[in-house]
Structure 1
Amino acid sequence: MALLSGVLFVVLGILIVTGAITDWLVLIGVLVLGLAFAGLVAIIARVFRGK
């Protein structure tokens, strides 16, 4: 989850600096969906590892 969250913040930073994302609602939506996806992947990985 930490790796996916880190990649998400790096990509969002790049998009903000380059000006690709200018709307704050889109930014917040992408952030929330990205963190939700990272959490889902972490839960699925934990189930497959059996811990």
Structure 2
Amino acid sequence: MRPDIDRTERRRAHRTDWMALLSGVVFIAAGIVFMSDPSVPPLVMLTILLSGLGFAGLVAILAKAVRR
């Protein structure tokens, strides 16, 4: 424990990385859909994946704007 860091700075929690969290959820969901129904066309999966990543990026940008 360093004496130059005051008590409030030590207790501050990390901020949520919304881009990483939502991107992980999108990839897990895409993997579950692909494993449960492999007959889904790749173009549909790619469209859903890119839409989900775009939404995650939008949420991350909005969250960063709200923090400031």
Q: TM-score, normalised by structure 1?
A: 0.92
Q: How does 1:31-50 map to 2 (within 5 A)?
A: 31-50=49-68
CA RMSD of aligned residues (A): 1.2
Q: Deviations over 1:1-51 (max 9, x none)?
A: 10000000001000000006611110000011000000000000000000x
**Residue aligning to 2:42:** 24
Count residues with an aligned counterpart: 50
Q: From the CA coordinates, give the structure whose radius of gyration is larger.
A: 2
Q: TM-score, normalised by structure 2?
A: 0.70
Can you give the 5+ residue segments of structure 2 that lack an aligned partner in the other structure?
A: 1-18
Can you give the 5+ residue segments of structure 1 that lack an aligned partner in the other structure?
A: none
Q: Does 1:13 align with 2:31?
A: yes
In percent, how many aligned pairs have the same letter? 48
Change (3 A) 1:21 1:41: farther
In 2, the alpha carbon distance for the partners of 1:44 and 1:20 equals 34
